[in-house]
Structure 1
Amino acid sequence: MAICEYLPRALCRFPAISDSYIRQARQVIDEGFKGIVREYGSIIDIVVRPLQLFLNYLERLFTTSPWTVVLIVMLLVVYFGSRSIRITIGTAIGMVLIGVVGLWEDTMTTLAIVTVSTLIAIIIGLPIGILMARSDRIQGVINPILDVMQTMPSFVYLIPVVVIFGIGKVPGLIAVVIYAVPPMIRLTNLGIRLVDKEVLEAADAFGSSPGQKLWNVQMPLALPTIMAGINQTIMMSLAMVVVASMVGVGGLGRNTLQAINNQFFTFGFLNGFALVAIAIIFDRTSQAFGKRLQRHSEVVHG
């Protein structure tokens, strides 16, 4: 306090005044936020109801179907996506091992959550990425938002989601989508902007409208980069599943959280192995599919 003898009184009182204003502002914001939730809670429930039903349906489909049917369908998807026997065999081995250690049902629950969150991220991210690619002004507005979304600690996403939607699968799903959608937006924007200018000039010379140029030229050429965005979205969804288990999301994330809380090393390791196996399957399949698209576009436009 001795330094205050040499400073104006207002400066010495500034920290206390600032702290008081901050507390008042926080209280007003929190109360206003809770008031909005109380006022429009029924509307929020109606809006998220279809999402809840779709997630429950997909989870029941994955968990109640015979494991042989699920495995065969999964291997077919992996093979036609990657056209690689090695990746398909690796997928079969990984999924069989997951079943052997007794984590099949939890893995199916996690697959349902990741599938729904990835689909939502694509539906949201693709049009936003297209808008960013077509307008520098929109890109300038959205880029700082994406920067905040990607640098914010993942636990922070749970706070507003839980306040608005409560505890359950849907709040966790929404938190996963918020965390995973930025790569989809960024790489869609990047892929469209990287399309060769000479190709666009040729499309203009043939009289293509902006819509025709987008869907017939830019999107096909940008598809490998967009696939990379989908790949990153899937990886980030899997990473966020463990964090989202804190608000009621089941599956492997919940098991991992329980293992951490109870210091069950083996149980946690097995769930981690299952998550890694799924991540590798998705990563290798989507990367192989993206490379095939790249080769196809080089042949067509090369």
Structure 2
Amino acid sequence: MNFSPGTLLSPAVDWLNANWHPVFKLIGLVVETSLDAVEAVLMAMPWYGVIGVVAVAAALLLSLRIAALVLGTLGFCVLNNQWETTMQTLALVTVSVVIAVLIAFPLGVLASRSKRLEAALRPVLDIMQTVPPWVYLIPAVIFFSLGRVPAMMATIIYGIPPMLRLTTLAFKQVPHEMLELGQAMGAPPLTILFKIEMPAAMPTILVGLNQCILMCLAMVVLAGLVGAGGLGAEVTRGLTRMEMGLGLRAGLSIVAVALLLDRLTRAALQGKGRR
């Protein structure tokens, strides 16, 4: 007798599609609207305006090295004729990371305070980080059809585990002496959280945020298979049409975006950019 998980899950999936369709439609509308807003902001100016603003801001707030990196990576995307698709990818990553952090951060804080919750989340996170990334696209497409919304949902889910794990670790590593000092001074729990725990946990939290961003970028690229658009769609198009030039240009643009996001977030969030 062959065991088929799909046979067991199929009735539940059919029930959810039949009874929760308005909920899925509402979620899709919110995600699509947020994505359209971010993409509109990124596309409001021509490429030289966006690069100039970001480079000047990086030079003033971070360092000349980061400003040069902005010019090099984004300029490379322009030379590759991938500017519009790069902005679409950045919009997808931005919205996905924000939602993933909003979910993972509070769960990580709660898990650091509750051993039962941490124990319950651990196997779930293990499975989430073991399952191949493209598997996340299957339920997303089932519930949200093809397009950017299922790509976003799969990306959000894929980006949650590293942020959640490292947030939990960060708060568990806060010295108890610091917490006891705050309690002895009569500080309320929220003050202890934001004034004592957050600064102490910030380095590890930033590592989690960095990993979340890179995970979301990797998933957004893969989500080009379900119509997400952006650089992932260009890679998929180059693969299906056997156009090596198109696939190579899109792939190198992805590398440039990944390098920019990695260095930019590290410098901006850790405050280690040198002028």
Q: Distance in 2 between matches of 1:39 and 1:215?
A: 41
Please name the residue that 1:99 is paired with: 78
Question: How far has the Cα of 1:64 moved from its partner?
Answer: 4.1
SS at match of 2:20: helix
Q: Are 2:242 and 1:266 equivalent residues in the alignment?
A: no
Measured after TM superposition, the shift of residue 63 of structure 1 is 2.6
C-alpha distance in 2 between matches for 1:240 and 1:77:
28
In structure 2, the residue matched to 1:47 is 27
Equivalent runs, 1:172-211 vs 2, <5 Å: 172-211=151-190
C-alpha deviation, 1:147, in angstroms: 0.7
CA separation of 1:102/1:193 partners in 2, compared to 1, >3 Å: closer, same or farther?
Answer: same
Match of 1:69 in 2: 49
Q: How does 1:81-120 map to 2 (within 5 A)?
A: 83-120=62-99
Which consecutive residues of structure 1, in runs of 5 or more, have no partner in the other structure? 1-17, 294-302
CA distance in 2, matches of 1:193, 1:168: 39
SS in 1 for 2:193: helix
| TM-score (norm. length: structure 1) | 0.85
Change (3 A) 1:123 1:73: farther
Q: Which runs of 5+ in 2 are unaligned?
A: none
Find the counterpart in structure 2 of residue 5 from structure 1.
none
**Structure 1, 105-114 or 195-204: larger mean CA deviation:** 195-204
Does the 8 Å contact 1:228/1:286 carry over to 2? Answer: no
Q: Please state how far the C-alpha of 1:60 moved relative to its aligned partner.
A: 2.6
Contact 1:183 1:229 (8 Å CA) reproduced: yes
Taking only aligned residues, the RMSD between alpha carbons, in angstroms, comes to 1.8
State the Cα deviation string for residues 153-211 of structure 1 (Å, max 9, x = none). 11111111111111110110010111111111111111111112222222122122322
Q: Aligned letter for 1:198?
A: E
- Divergent runs of 4+, >6 A: none
Deviation at 1:78, TM superposition (A): 3.6
Sort the Cα spacing of 1:291 and 1:47 in 2 relative to 1 into closer, same or farther, 3 A.
Answer: closer
Q: After superposition, what is the alpha-carbon deviation per residue over 1:81-101, rounded to whole angstroms, capped at 9, x for unaligned?
A: 6x2211211211221121122
- 1:133 equivalent in structure 2: 112
Contact 1:55 1:112 in 2 (8 A): yes
Take 1:28 and 1:99, find their aligned partners in 2: how far apart are those partners? 49
1:168 and 2:147 are equivalent in the alignment: yes
- In our comparison, the structure showing a higher alpha carbon Rg is 1
TM-score of the two chains, using structure 2 as the length reference: 0.92
Report the CA distance shift for 1:187/1:78 in structure 2 as closer, same or farther (over 3 A).
Answer: farther
What is the aligned-residue identity percentage?
Answer: 35
Q: Larger deviation: 281-290 or 151-160?
A: 281-290
Secondary structure in structure 1 of the residue aligned to 2:186? coil
Distance in 2 separating the partners of 1:211 and 1:231: 25
Aligned to 1:9: none
For residues 143-162 of structure 1, the aligned pairs below 5 Å read 143-162=122-141
